[in-house]
Amino acid sequence: MAGELAGRLEPIVAEAVSGAGFELDALEVQQAGRRKLVKVVVDGEDGVGLDEVAEVSRTVSAALDEQEHILAGAYTLEVTSPGVDRPLSKPRHWRRARFRQVRVTPAEGAGFVGRVGHCGEDGARMLVDGELRTVRYADVAKAVIEIEFRQPPAEELRLLEGDKINTEEESK
């Protein structure tokens, strides 16, 4: 039932989030006692700050209140941005991780850590152990950003910035 309700709410929430200038990353509805818990995860090209989360929360709340017959009762709305530990599962996640260190678990073979460069719709260029390589998204079982407490080495950033190879062409 919660999955069905989330499916009915998704176009309403997506439109409200989009109208606020962000993207709906995830929507989940759970029963929490007598109330429903509506969890909304939003993202933007430059991330999402606290003020922006509050703005999106007001916008989504107003949109849900207009459609109160769908929720049929009290609900709690929770709007958040994706955590740093969110897996990179879509090309836009990879684009936002550009120049970040990412731990990749491939569908086959050994895992590795590398820095993300240019990203296309089918794959991303990564600097792994000093060598540039193309990683096809279809070949990745899981990829997660690694937290870094220092600035990336300037030489790595120069290599990635200068790498203008078309990832769509190379990853075919």
DSSP 11-35: HHHHHHHHHTT-EEEEEEEEEETTE
How many CA atoms lie less than 13 Å away from 171 in the CB half-sphere?
A: 21
* CATH number of the domain that residue 55 is part of: 3.30.70.1350
Task: Judge whether residue 166 has pLDDT over 80.
Answer: no
Task: Judge whether residue 170 has pLDDT over 60.
Answer: no
In the chain, how many domains are there? 2
Residues 55 and 108 in one domain: no
Distance of CA 106 to the CA centre of its chain: 19
Q: What is the pLDDT of residues 128-148, one digit of tens each?
A: 999 999 999 999 999 999 998
Q: What is the pLDDT of residue 82?
A: 85
* Domain end point (choices 52, 80, 108): 80
The mean predicted confidence, pLDDT, of the chain is 89
pTM greater than 0.85: no
* CATH number of the domain that residue 140 is part of: 2.30.30.100
In-domain check, residue 71: yes
Task: Judge whether residue 156 has pLDDT over 50.
Answer: yes
DSSP alpha helix (H) spans, the chain:
2-19, 50-66, 68-71, 91-96, 154-162, 167-170
Task: Judge whether residue 69 has pLDDT over 80.
Answer: yes
Q: Which residues contact 140 (CB under 8 A, 6 or more apart)?
A: 88, 104, 105, 106, 107
Residues 95 and 121 in one domain: yes
- Domain range spanning residue 127? 91-165
Determine contact, residues 90/82, Cβ cutoff 8 Å: no
* Domain end point (choices 47, 80, 113): 80
What does the alpha-carbon distance between residue 43 and residue 35 come to, in Å, rounded to a whole number?
Answer: 26
Question: Percent of the chain scored above 70 by pLDDT?
Answer: 94
Q: What is the pLDDT of residue 169?
A: 46
Residues 69 and 8 in one domain: yes
Q: What is the pLDDT of residue 84?
A: 77
Higher-pLDDT residue of 113, 5: 113
In-domain check, residue 85: no
In-domain check, residue 130: yes
Helices 50-66 and 2-19 sit at what angle, rounded to 10 degrees?
A: 120
